[in-house]
Amino acid sequence: MRQTAAVTEEDPGPVVQRILLGAELREAREHQGLSTSDATRRLGWYAGKLSKVEQGDKSLTDRELAKAVDVFGIDAERAEVLRKLAAEARRKLPPARVPEWATKYVNLIAAATEIKLFFPDSFPGTVQTFDYAQAMLDSAVIVAPADVERMAEERARRADSLLKNERTRLWLVVGEEALHREIGGRTVLRAQLERIRTLAEAPNSTVQVLPFDGGAHACHGTSFTIITLLEGKPSIVYTEGLTGSDYLGREHVRVYNLAYDNLRAAALSPQRTIEALDRRIGELS
């Protein structure tokens, strides 16, 4: 029997359970040699529903899951595991103070076993201090002024939790510009760099800076996050724009992982990164 997260382990939340269920169903469908369109016809579902389920964007009723179990030839033992996943996936959680389209990302980050981040010109919300987050959110065109403080508090809380979370492996590559762009002013930037300096020395984290003088690299104009929920399970690539986000899987993950390996090779070593952070913190003191 293949490994699946048991619902009795530390609760990863319904969003993650939907993704795990979707991955299991996609694997079962492909094992039967069924295309998405063929499976959709056999299931009697509307066009696009199966894709949403497999991507973790839609939950299933017990009856819908039973139909999928029958069509995909899933054995009884496996079906029981999937029923438990489906039940957990239908739970509701209190909404996070983020735009609706970013809620899935917040839940994925909270449940991840490995996170790889690349941001070329600033530090991502995942690792921001309250003041740095507030300055970023103040300039965002889609965030209401009344929501800024609460959203900044939640970003800072999530960053604190990640710093204390020893089970999540964190990789962070940032462009050197992030060390110089004075978001919130010199004092705010210095405190943010001190946070990153602490992160760089954490046993489960690796931080690297991509230097100005390094020339061209694999990801100009692109920031992204690669999220792994369980070892051996497919990762997810998250990209974000001003008004929405995208979750990429399968072949996209291979390409983004290759790009990330190239970024790490082009960046300063972790030790030289710490030295660069120390220099910049000293300049801002």
Quick: pLDDT tens for 107-159. Answer: 788 888 999 999 999 999 999 999 999 999 999 998 899 999 999 999 999 89
**pTM, full prediction:** 0.76
For tokens 């066009």, the residue is: 47
- Give the per-residue pLDDT at 101: 54
Per-residue model confidence (pLDDT) at position 7: 32
Confidence (pLDDT) at 280: 98
Tell the CATH topology of 100-284.
Endonuclease; Chain A (3.30.870)
Compute φ and ψ for 171, nearest 5 degrees.
Answer: -120, 130
Q: Interhelix angle for 62-71 vs 76-89, to 10°?
A: 150
Cα(220)–Cα(4) distance, integer angstroms = 37
Tell me the three state secondary structure of residue 245.
Answer: strand
Low-confidence spans in the chain with pLDDT less than 50? 1-10
Q: What CA–CA distance (Å, rounded) separates 238 from 227?
A: 8
**Portions of the chain given CATH number 3.30.870:** 100-284
CATH topology for 14-89? 434 Repressor (Amino-terminal Domain) (1.10.260)
Q: Provide the pLDDT for residue 272.
A: 98
Is residue 133 within 8 Å of residue 97, measured between CB atoms?
no
pLDDT of residue 236: 87
Give Cα 240 to chain centroid, integer Å.
Answer: 11
State the span(s) of the chain assigned CATH 1.10.260.40. 14-89
The strands making up 114-119's β-sheet, listed across from edge to edge, are 205-210, 169-175, 114-119, 224-228, 236-240, 245-248
Rounded Cα distance between 204 and 65, Å, is: 38
Which residues, 6 or more positions from 177, have their beta carbon under 8 angstroms from its beta carbon?
Answer: 120, 121, 122, 212
